[in-house]
Amino acid sequence: MRAGNARFSREAAQRPILVFEDVFKSYREGTPVLRGMNLVIERGEFVFVTGPSGSGKSTVLRLLYRGETVDDGRILFLGRDVARLREDAIPFLRRNLGIVFQDFKLVPSWSAYENVAVALEVLGLPQRLIRARVGEALERVGLAGRGEDAAGVLSGGEQQRVAIARAIVGEPALILADEPTGNLDPQLGIDVLGLFEEIHENGTTVLFATHDRTLLEVRPRRVVVLDEGKAIDVPNGIATEEFDNSLPH
């Protein structure tokens, strides 16, 4: 991870970026959300995580950024067990992740620039560098020149673009998107998906949780279906016979 004295290791670079090993999680006794979930995601992949409401899509992401802790099992991110991280190491985990939410999670009274810059300010970068990188990030999401606008007055699509700019400005190893198109109309949703694909084309791994089947149909990508607490892998997307065969009947 970015913090600490980690050295470059060829072996580490070849390891999967993310591994879920027998992960169990329940919020109430007797009703587990994840029941021995296993999943491996390689570097540079774009993976949809889908499933019905309550299937555990958001839980998977929350476990990853340590918004929750696993009951059992391991989650290895860049070779380190996220579940066993000490509390004071969690900020350093999150600095290696870019997280985008359905409700944007922007500070409405802050400007678009400030909302993006905060991801670099926590790293203690100099203001000059922050200005340059935030400018680039806003340009990448199509908001060049809108930095001074208060986030609260932007449209839903624009707010989600700001959130995406915030997620990518730190050049994280992995982007987690939790229903990022859930509050947007279908066309805007597809535009936002296009943004994530552009980010992915630059080599960033993307984990995109959605229950919107139209998005899955638009692009033939690897899909992980969460069903009854386990992950069902559909490598070539849902518009295939393979997907239909993978679902439980």
Partner 1 sequence: MISVSTTRRAHRGMVREWRLHALSIFSLAVAFVCLGSALLVVTNLRAVEERWAHAGRASVYLKEGATQDDVDALRAALTRVPGVNAVHYVSSGEARVEFGQRELDSNSVLAALPVEAFPASIELDVAPDMPDADLADMVGKMKALPSVDDVETYQSWTERLARLVRGGVAASALLAVVVLAAVLAVVGSTMRLALQRRRIEVEVLKLVGATDGFVKKPFVIEGSLQGALGAAGAIALLAVLFLLVRGRLDGELAALIGVEPTFLPWPVALGMVALGALLGATAALASLRKMVAI
> Phi first, then psi: what are they for 25, rounded to 5°?
-155, 130
Candidates 92, 139, 202, 214: give the one binding partner 1 (CB under 8 A).
92
Candidates 17, 49, 99, 195: give the one binding partner 1 (CB under 8 A).
99
Stated length of the chain: 249
Contacts of 18 (CB under 8 A, 6+ apart): 39, 40, 41, 64, 75, 76, 77, 174, 205, 207
Q: Which is nearer to partner 1, 118 or 232 (CB)?
A: 118
- Tell whether residue 94 is a contact of partner 1 (CB under 8 A): yes
CB of 60 to partner 1, least distance (A): 16
Q: Which is nearer to partner 1, 93 or 209 (CB)?
A: 93
CB of 96 to partner 1, least distance (A): 8
Q: What is the largest CA-CA distance in the chain?
A: 57
- Tell whether residue 93 is a contact of partner 1 (CB under 8 A): yes
CB of 101 to partner 1, least distance (A): 8
By rule CB under 8 A, what string of x and - marks binding of each residue 112-131 to partner 1?
---x--xx-xxxx--x----
Backbone region of residue 194 per phi and psi (left: phi > 0; alpha: psi in -120 to 50; beta: other values)? alpha
What stretch of H or E contains 57? helix 57-64
Bridge partners (DSSP) of residue 26 are: 32
- Tell whether residue 67 is a contact of partner 1 (CB under 8 A): yes
By rule CB under 8 A, what string of x and - marks binding of each residue 12-51 to partner 1?
----------------------------------------
Buried b (16+ CB within 10 A) or exposed e, 175-197: bbbbbbbebbeeebbbbbbebbe
CB of 4 to partner 1, least distance (A): 13
**Cα–Cα distance for residue pair 69/41, rounded to 1 Å:** 20
Backbone region of residue 154 per phi and psi (left: phi > 0; alpha: psi in -120 to 50; beta: other values)? beta
How far lies 57's CA from each of 48, 118, 227, 241, in Å? 10, 27, 10, 23
- Tell whether residue 6 is a contact of partner 1 (CB under 8 A): no
CB of 52 to partner 1, least distance (A): 26
- Among 231, 186, 239, 175, smallest CA distance to 208 is for 175
- Tell whether residue 166 is a contact of partner 1 (CB under 8 A): yes
- Tell whether residue 91 is a contact of partner 1 (CB under 8 A): yes
- Tell whether residue 170 is a contact of partner 1 (CB under 8 A): yes
Number of chain residues interacting with partner 1 (CB under 8 A): 25
In the complex, which residues of this chain contact partner 1 (CB under 8 A)? 65, 67, 88, 91-95, 99, 105-110, 115, 118-119, 121-124, 127, 166, 170
